[in-house]
């Protein structure tokens, strides 16, 4: 059977807990398929089936992923826009599925950094952005607090042949920040899950694990050249206000570049005409800036 056919079959599932382990092994998949063929008697009773569907999340069967919630199935249908090389063995967990930056957008972000510069991806997830910065020729420091995400990110970077251009770090960005130096800082923090879009005006205090102002100020201590990927319903006025925040960089040579207001630019980030998020660029990442290689020259001269 074609993978899509299988995925389109909705399964009523007995357990109510969310799935945690992705991807499932082939063995798991076989077991699941067998379960499906041998329909439990309770599922033959339509009343019970209806109640179960209400209680627990529906799941879909996907060959390389096993059973996944219908919430995630929506992102699976977009898998090639997340990673064009998905079929080569890309790995993700649930949060990875709904948070990975679509490849086309990540490449647009990466285009703002020059080859040879150092980029820190502070909330790197399964590597959507880190890989594109590395493909651009940047040296990337990819940080994530979740060791499993870093594991997936290493696997995914290998598929794109860029693992040697990325230093992978399991850690808390806020603890590591005082020790980091870079030309560009990239921020795509958690937005609180897919329910972010139920909010009409997404204010920066809703970002996780700290509010957007605090995240930005911690990043500013590293460099004023910041790229931030935010929800499409974000409060744009608040995003603009970020350029007035003052948090001098620890690197004294960069202080003259960091006095407010920072240069800034805001763009809608699209995939095939659909807005997926808002990207805010600050400092030398703003288009029309002299360019980051020039910045390095200025700082070192
Ligand atoms: P979406 O709005 O959940 O999906 O996420 P979609 O397909 O636009 O939904 P629609 O049905 O409303 O059209 C869109 C994109 O936002 C994802 O592909 C991710 O790149 C990004 N994204 C979503 N979430 C919940 C997060 C998050 O928590 N953190 C980060 N960094 N990015 C996210
Ligand atoms: N841009 C990424 C998705 C990032 S999702 C991609 O394309 O794949 C946000 C990530 O932030 C999650 O993976 C989460 O584990 C991580 N995170 C949350 N708190 C963190 C912290 N304090 N330090 C570093 N990473 C953190």
Over residues 100-122, the mean pLDDT reads 97
Q: Given this model, what pLDDT does residue 46 score?
A: 46
Helix, strand, coil share of the chain (percent; to 5): 45, 20, 40
CB 292 within 8 A of CB 184: yes
Structure tokens at 187: 């921020």
Q: Is there an atom of ligand 1 within 6 Å of 197 CB?
A: yes
Tell me what pLDDT residue 296 has: 55
Q: Is the CB of 231 under 6 A from ligand 1?
A: no
Question: CB atoms < 10 A from the CB of 238, how many?
Answer: 16
pLDDT of residue 16: 26
Mean pLDDT of 146-151: 98
Return the sign of the alpha-carbon dihedral for residues 230, 162, 285, 252: positive
Q: How far apart are CA 40 and CA 279, in angstroms?
A: 48
Q: Does domain 98-300 have CATH number 3.40.50.300?
A: no
What is the maximal distance between C-alpha atoms in the chain?
A: 77
State how far the Cα of 81 lies from the Cα of 65, in Å rounded to an integer. Answer: 17
Nearest ligand by distance to the CA of 78:
1
* Each residue's pLDDT tens digit, 239-249: 999 999 877 77
CA distance 188 to 101: 9
pTM of the model: 0.83
Q: Whose CA is nearest to atom 29 of ligand 1?
A: 190
Are the beta carbons of 136 and 184 closer than 8 angstroms? no
Which residues on adjacent β-strands are paired with residue 275?
270
User: CA-CA distance, 192 to 195, in Å (whole number)?
Assistant: 7
Q: Tell me which DSSP letter residue 100 carries.
A: P
Nearest-10 Cα torsion for 280, 282, 287, 289: 180
Q: Compute the average pLDDT of residues 126-143.
A: 98
With a cut of 80, say whether residue 220 has pLDDT above it.
yes
User: What is the atom index within ligand 1 of the atom nearest the CA of 196?
Assistant: 25
Read off the tokens for 119: 């980029």
| Average of per-residue pLDDT values in the chain | 81
Q: Where are the domains of the chain?
A: 6-77, 98-300
Separation CA 204–CA 242 (nearest Å): 10
Which atom of ligand 1 is found nearest the CA of 75?
7
């Amino acid at each position: 059977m074609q993978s899509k056919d299988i995925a389109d079959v909705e399964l009523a599932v007995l357990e109510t807990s969310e799935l945690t382990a992705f991807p499932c092994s082939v063995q798991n998949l076989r077991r699941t398929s067998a379960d499906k063929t041998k329909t439990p008697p309770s599922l033959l009773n339509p009343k019970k089936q209806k109640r179960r569907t209400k209680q627990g999340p529906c799941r879909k069967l996907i060959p390389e992923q096993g059973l996944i919630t219908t919430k995630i199935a929506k992102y699976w249908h977009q898998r090639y826009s997340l990673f064009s090389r998905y079929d080569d063995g890309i790995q993700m967990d649930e949060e990875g599925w709904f948070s990975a930056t679509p490849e086309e957008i990540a490449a647009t972000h990466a285009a703002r950094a020059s080859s040879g510069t150092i980029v820190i991806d502070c909330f790197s997830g399964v590597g959507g952005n880190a890989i594109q910065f590395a493909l651009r020729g940047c040296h990337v420091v990819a940080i994530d607090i979740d060791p499993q995400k870093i594991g997936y990110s290493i696997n995914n970077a290998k598929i794109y042949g860029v693992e040697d251009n990325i230093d992978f770090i399991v850690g808390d960005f806020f603890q590591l920040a005082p020790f980091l130096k870079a030309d560009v800082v990239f921020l795509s923090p958690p937005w609180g899950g897919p329910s972010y879009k139920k909010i009409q005006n997404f204010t920066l205090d809703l970002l996780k694990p700290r509010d957007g102002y605090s995240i930005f100020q911690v990043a500013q201590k590293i460099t004023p050249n910041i790229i931030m990927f935010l929800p499409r319903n974000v409060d744009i006025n608040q995003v603009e206000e970020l350029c007035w925040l003052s948090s001098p960089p620890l690197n004294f040579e960069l202080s003259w570049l960091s006095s407010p207001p920072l240069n800034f630019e805001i763009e809608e980030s699209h995939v095939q005409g659909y807005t997926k998020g808002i990207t805010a660029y600050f400092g030398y990442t703003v288009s029309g800036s002299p360019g980051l290689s020039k910045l390095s020259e200025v700082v070192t001269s």
